Amino acid sequence: MMLRLYLYCFILLTANRTFAQEPRIPVHDPVMAKQGDTWYLFCTGQGISSWSSKDLKSWKKGNPIFNTPPQWALTAVPGFKGHIWAPDISYYNGLYYLYYSVSAFGKNTSCIGLATNKTLNPEDTANYKWTDHGKIIQSFPGKTNWNAIDPNLITDKKGHPFLVFGSFWDGIKIIQLKTDRMSIAESTDNLPTIASRNKAGDNAIEAPFIFKKGDYYYLFTSIDYCCKGVNSTYKMMIGRSKNVKGPYLDKKGVDMAHGGGSILLQGDKNWYGVGHSATYTFDNIDYLIFHGYDATDNGKSKLIIDTLEWEKGWPLIK
């Protein structure tokens, strides 16, 4: 009887722990898709880094998406050398869509590009080929008070596609795409801000990701600072809306466009900072995928996978 009770308690405790990956792979800004029995992960890296796994625990490193930098990106972003940021993966009408960020560091000399493929499986040599469609949207210093990086695709209740994106400057923006998802369907003038810290000169918010659950769209963002190793202060913030274009309100009813946002997860004794999350449902389980700065390994960035639970209409991690 005592043994069964011990095992039951052990199962309850371990069920809510962070999904174990052994060993944790080094990633920034991870996103994921599942094709067949394999999960494919894409993240920031030279040419866009890729990994694959059969169990979400052990990962095999793949080849980069681009062997050489896209020529259009070399022209659009002077000094760009092929290190591509924050991709986003989705599937539509027989194609996988991989949006990605090309940018100068610390400037909004930035673009979001798009590549497509019929399959994510490199062993399917008859169909595996990434086709680049070039630039979708671009931001310019002194002209646009937003930054064209960190894209995420979301569709509204009628199936219309939108791209949410942005960091710093005026905050997080959203724009409608054409039906084929390969170009914008509206002007970039006066784009709505759906999330902002409201801190002039220090609007440290980025990495938007919108996840549809029930009647709500949930906007996940990351605030404060990534990419500083042991000095990283990254944390995740969330709000929700019944309209894909907002307003996104936090648990206190404060609009994220006006400084609102409820903290979902932040650093602790094990992680200096955590953020740039993506949320998916695989096999009826909701997963939160993100990176953290490992306090046991000199602040190196590592992959973390958690399962999400829901309580009173809000996600939580136990």
Q: Which residues are catalytic?
A: 29, 206
230: phi > 0 → left, psi -120 to 50 → alpha, else beta; which?
Answer: alpha
**Rounded CA gap, 302 and 84, in Å?**
18
Residue 74's nearest CA partner among 64, 65, 84 is 84
What tokens were used for 151? 């894209």
31 vs 118: CA distance, rounded Å: 18
In angstroms, the Cα distances linking 43 to 51, 84, 244, 275, 276 are 9, 9, 25, 13, 11
Classify residue 158 as left (phi > 0), alpha (psi -120 to 50) or beta: alpha
Place of tokens 């080929």: 129
Which CB contacts under 8 angstroms, 24+ apart, belong to 42-50?
42/87, 42/89, 42/98, 43/87, 43/291, 44/83, 44/84, 44/85, 44/86, 44/87, 45/83, 45/84, 46/82, 46/83, 46/84, 47/82, 47/84, 48/84, 48/87, 48/98, 48/100
Distance CA 138, CA 219 (A): 22
* Cβ–Cβ under 8 Å, residues 66 and 48: yes
Residue labelled with tokens 């894209």: 151
Q: Does a cis peptide bond (omega within 30 degrees of 0) precede residue 247?
A: yes
Residue type, 71: Q
